[in-house]
Every structure is written in structure tokens, then in C-alpha cells.
């Protein structure tokens, strides 16, 4: 399986986990803590999306033209959109913790990790400076991963 096909499969896994949590009514919570985490996730998502600019989202992993983005949240983490998605979904799943919600979150997080692998491999081929950028930033959680 090539990286683009693998990235589409990973995206579908993320979508399946998200939809499963919605159907289980386990994505949102009345807890102020969960709401705060999800609001922070949305702020991170929008900050990253605005920083990324007019570049479009591609279902298969596909490095875009225009150079490597290293400003905004990308200054600290390489994948802030996946981080935001994992935080948003993880907070909701944790608020309704069961084996089903953990499995659904596993699909989201696992899919994000596979897409990160695919994207990093393809981006490093297109942008040689990516290796230096990757050495000074974390993937998803500053100073941790």
C-alpha cells in the first residue's frame, strides 16, 4: 500500500471514530473542564488553519506548494490540526469513558498517527529543510512527542 492510499485509510479511520462518538452521544459533555479542553482544541485548530493559509486540504497526504509552514502553532508542533482533533475527541471520549469510547478515540488517534507518518515522509522528500524543522519541534505535544 502506498503512502497516499494509507493516508486515506487513516483519514477514514479518524472519521469512523468521530462518527462513532457522535452516535454514542459521547463527543460532548456538560463538564466545564471538557468544554474548556474542547474550546482550546478549537482555538488551536483555527489558529493552525489560519496560519496554513489558503492551501487546501487533500484527502490523500499530499505536500502543498508554497514552502514549509513554520510560524504560528507550527513553530512549536508540526501537526497542530491533528493535535487539536485528538484533544477535542479525547476530551469527549474521556468524559464518557468506556471500552467503546476508548476504541473510537483509538481510531481517531491511530488514524492521526498514521497520517502523520505519511505526511512527514512525503513532506521530507519535497522539502529538504523539513529534517532541520523536525529536529527543533515536537510532533503533537511540545517536549513530549
| Each residue's pLDDT tens digit, 11-33 | 999 999 999 999 999 999 999 99
Determine contact, residues 130/124, Cβ cutoff 8 Å. yes
Residue 43's pLDDT band, with cuts at 50, 70 and 90, is very high
Name the residue among 125, 121, 136 with its Cα closest to residue 74.
136
Backbone angles phi and psi of 27, in degrees to 5: -90, -30
- For residue 81, the model assigns a pLDDT of 94
pTM, whole model, 2 decimals?
Answer: 0.92
Amino acid at each position: 500500500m502506498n503512502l497516499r492510499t494509507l493516508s486515506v485509510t487513516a483519514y477514514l479511520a479518524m472519521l469512523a471514530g468521530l462518527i462513532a462518538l457522535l452516535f454514542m452521544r459521547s463527543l460532548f459533555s456538560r463538564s466545564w473542564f471538557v468544554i474548556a479542553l474542547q474550546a482550546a482544541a478549537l482555538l488551536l485548530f483555527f489558529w493552525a488553519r489560519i496560519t496554513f493559509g489558503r492551501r487546501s486540504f487533500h484527502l490523500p497526504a499530499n505536500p502543498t506548494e508554497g514552502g514549509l509552514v513554520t510560524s504560528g502553532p507550527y513553530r512549536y508542533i508540526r501537526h497542530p490540526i491533528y493535535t487539536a482533533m485528538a484533544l477535542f475527541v479525547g476530551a469527549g471520549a474521556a468524559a464518557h469513558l468506556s471500552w467503546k469510547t476508548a476504541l473510537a478515540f483509538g481510531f481517531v488517534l491511530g488514524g492521526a498517527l498514521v497520517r502523520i507518518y505519511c505526511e512527514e515522509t512525503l513532506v521530507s522528500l519535497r522539502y529538504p529543510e523539513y529534517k532541520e524543522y523536525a529536529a527543533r519541534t515536537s510532533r503533537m505535544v511540545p517536549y513530549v512527542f
